[in-house]
């Protein structure tokens, strides 16, 4: 049993804060710090982009050498510290060292994350002043300002928490922050997220659970099809509750709560997609396996023609079928079937295609569905057992305007 909240109260032993240290230069939070009062086991998943930002390289190294004694995560927005060479890596290390000195811990205990413009060096004087001034606190306010410190083109902070009751009656808490609105494509995480829990997890449990839930949450979202240089999701477990996952039932209960929390945070990114006006769920079934279904769903979700049709409230289903056909998955076009429905769960589905051919459907009804702020597209390609779900959004004028003027 678990309860999901769209806010964060307290997670035992963790504190958080955000502040404006002048990286963005507009007096909005651009630095965040999340701190545990005791050592944490850590897990992470990172971008598969070959061009990796300095903080990604650093965090991957820290996870290899010190997965059981993490104390903090420091995050800056306004500068991605990507494509910055050796100096960028030294600045990432220096940022972690500044936090470590303040916490009186080893620098290997501090993860560093950055987001913002690529190809710009971190303003280290401002980072140093921010680390000196920031004061993490327990409770809702600290998490709210920390979430704001993550934001770049995000319109709203994204945070959630869950409480899980284990089989022995003990309760553990999970909380998370995510950020992202653009440069979002499903190839690992496509954004930044920090998830913390007061459960007592082993390093193996943490990494296994994170990889499992990431594959059905953060790795199932698309805004524009671009995979960032900085994608990182971290999970920190400090054991402050004193409750371990002692049975398979406990592991399953924790996994369910973690997955619900990550799905919520992932969907929030799509809902906040740059210029987005539609939230679209794409379901594919009948594929040879789950990977094939995901490949087709991703191709539809990233198709510019599909996304502009969503924006124009145009049920131009031929675009969806064409995208499926170029996804690189072998199937018989005569098996294609397609439905549209309102909401995320295909409510009142309208079939548009059967056995590879159009059916006699009401075009006005189809248009009415794709005019909704949320709708589902379901594509069946055969009789296989593979299925996948991906969340995406439309692509309109505001996305182009925002990204054309991003550095202006």
Catalytic residues: 190
What totals of helices (H) and strands (E) does the chain contain, helices first? Answer: 11, 15
Compute the residue count for the chain: 408
d(CA 219, CA 159): 18
Which of 224, 198, 366 lies closest to 302, judged by CA? Answer: 224
Please write down the HEC assignment for all residues of 89-147.
Answer: HHHHHHHHHHHHHHHCCCHHHEEEEEEEECCCCCCHHHHHHHHHHCCCECCHHHHHHHH
Which of 115, 96, 300 lies closest to 189, judged by CA? Answer: 115
Please write down the HEC assignment for all residues of 348-387.
Answer: EEEEEEECCEECCCCHHHHHHHHCCCEEEEEEECCCCCEE
DSSP 218: G
d(CA 67, CA 77): 25
Which of 162, 180, 147 lies closest to 80, judged by CA? Answer: 180
């Amino acid at each position: 049993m678990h309860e999901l909240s769209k806010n964060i109260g307290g997670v035992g032993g963790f504190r958080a804060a955000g502040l404006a240290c002048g990286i963005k230069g507009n007096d909005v939070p651009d630095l965040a710090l999340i701190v545990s009062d005791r050592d944490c086991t850590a897990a992470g998943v990172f971008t598969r982009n070959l061009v990796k930002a300095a903080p990604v390289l650093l965090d991957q190294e820290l996870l290899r050498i010190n997965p059981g004694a993490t104390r903090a995560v420091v995050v800056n927005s306004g500068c991605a510290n990507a494509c910055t060479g050796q100096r960028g890596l030294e600045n990432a290390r220096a940022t972690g060292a500044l936090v470590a000195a303040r916490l009186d811990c080893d620098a290997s205990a501090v993860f560093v994350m950055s987001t913002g413009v690529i190809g710009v060096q971190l303003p280290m004087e401002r980072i140093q002043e921010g680390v000196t001034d920031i004061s993490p606190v327990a409770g809702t306010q600290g998490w709210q300002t920390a979430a704001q410190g993550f934001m770049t083109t995000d319109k709203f902070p994204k945070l959630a928490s869950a409480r899980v009751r284990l089989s022995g009656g003990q309760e553990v808490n999970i909380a998370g922050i995510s950020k992202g609105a653009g440069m979002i494509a499903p190839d690992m995480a496509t954004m930044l997220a920090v998830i913390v829990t007061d459960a007592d997890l082993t390093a193996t449990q943490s990494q296994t659970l994170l990889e499992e839930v990431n594959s059905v949450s953060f790795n199932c979202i698309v805004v524009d099809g671009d995979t960032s240089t900085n994608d990182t999701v971290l999970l920190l477990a400090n054991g402050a509750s004193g409750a371990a996952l002692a049975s398979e039932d406990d592991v399953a209960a924790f996994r369910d709560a973690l997955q619900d929390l990550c799905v919520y945070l992932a969907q929030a990114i799509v809902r906040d997609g740059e210029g987005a006006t539609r939230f679209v769920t794409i379901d594919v079934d009948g594929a040879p396996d789950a990977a094939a279904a995901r490949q087709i769903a991703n191709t539809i979700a990233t198709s510019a023609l599909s996304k502009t049709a969503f924006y124009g409230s145009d049920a131009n289903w031929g675009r969806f079928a064409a995208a499926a056909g170029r996804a690189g998955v072998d199937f018989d076009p005569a098996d294609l079937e397609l439905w549209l429905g309102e909401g995320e769960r295909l409510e009142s589905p309208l079939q548009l295609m059967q056995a590879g051919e159009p059916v006699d459907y009401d075009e006005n009804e189809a248009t009415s569905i794709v005019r909704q702020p949320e709708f589902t597209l379901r594509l069946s390609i055969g009789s296989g057992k593979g299925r996948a779900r991906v969340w995406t959004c439309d692509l309109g004028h505001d996305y182009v305007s925002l990204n054309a003027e991003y550095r202006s």
